[in-house]
Every structure is written in structure tokens, then in C-alpha cells.
Amino acid sequence: MTRLDGSKWIMANLLYGSGLRLMECLRLRVKDIEFDYSQIIVRDAKGSKDRVTILPEKLKEPLKRHLEKVKVLHEQDLKDGFAGYIFLLLWLESIPMPKRNGAGNMCFLLKNVQ
């Protein structure tokens, strides 16, 4: 993981440190991260069940900084008229997003946030 940086580094560390599966990491939402309790709520995990896993201490600050950058991008997208939708990993299907509260937004966006 020494060759990774930015959001890719955070995602790789979440896969390893939290035991997230790839699609769980990609579907992770801001509202499912509990910084105060150092835990992540994984929605609709294997077997269509929710589960709770740990949020490693070393990821808290990098993840908070990343989410601040994502929030700025989201706010700019709203100003540019892209309210309600983002594209994730070059997929053509859109994912509905809340327009006001950033808590339900995706953690990892298509745009390169470094």
C-alpha cells in the first residue's frame, strides 16, 4: 500500500483494516461511518444483512479530510445543476443522492479527490 495515496489509500486500508469487501467499500455512505464509536455500519452485506465493523484509528483523520473534499465537490455539483445524481466508477446507472444533507452521500466519488 506504499504506492497508493489519497482515496485509493483510504479504500485499500478500509478493505484490510475494517474487513470490508470491495463492493461494501464502494457502497459506503457517510452516514454509515461512526467516528465517535470507531465503527462502520455495513448495509446490505453478504446474506442481505447489516453488520458493524471497526474503523481503524489511523484512518479517522485521513477519512475526515477526504470527506471534507468530497463535500466541497458535492456542493459544487449542486451549484452546477447535477443535484441528485453522481456517477460511481464509470457506471452508466445513476445513484440518487440527498440534496441537502451530506450524511447519505457516497464516500468515494468518480472524481479524483486527492
Could you tell me the sign of the dihedral formed by the alpha carbons of 93, 6, 102, 26, in that order?
positive
Cα 60 to Cα 110: distance, rounded to the nearest angstrom: 21
Where are the strands (E) in 10-69, listed by range? 33-34, 39-42, 51-54
- Helix/strand/coil percent split, the chain, to 5: 45, 15, 45
More confident residue, 4 or 89: 4
Query: How large a percentage of the chain has pLDDT more than 90?
Result: 45
CA dihedral 28, 30, 31, 36 (to 10 degrees): 110
pLDDT at residue 90 in the model: 39
**Residue 103's pLDDT band (cuts 50, 70, 90):** low
Q: Rounded to the nearest 5 degrees, what angle is found at the Cα of 78, between the Cα atoms of 74 and 113?
A: 25
Cα 95 to Cα 86: distance, rounded to the nearest angstrom: 6
pLDDT of 101 higher than 90: no
pLDDT at residue 81 in the model: 75
Q: What is the pLDDT of residues 81-95, one digit of tens each?
A: 775 544 443 343 444
**Residue 114's pLDDT band (cuts 50, 70, 90):** very low
Domain ranges of the chain: 6-104
pLDDT at residue 88 in the model: 42
**Residue 99's pLDDT band (cuts 50, 70, 90):** low
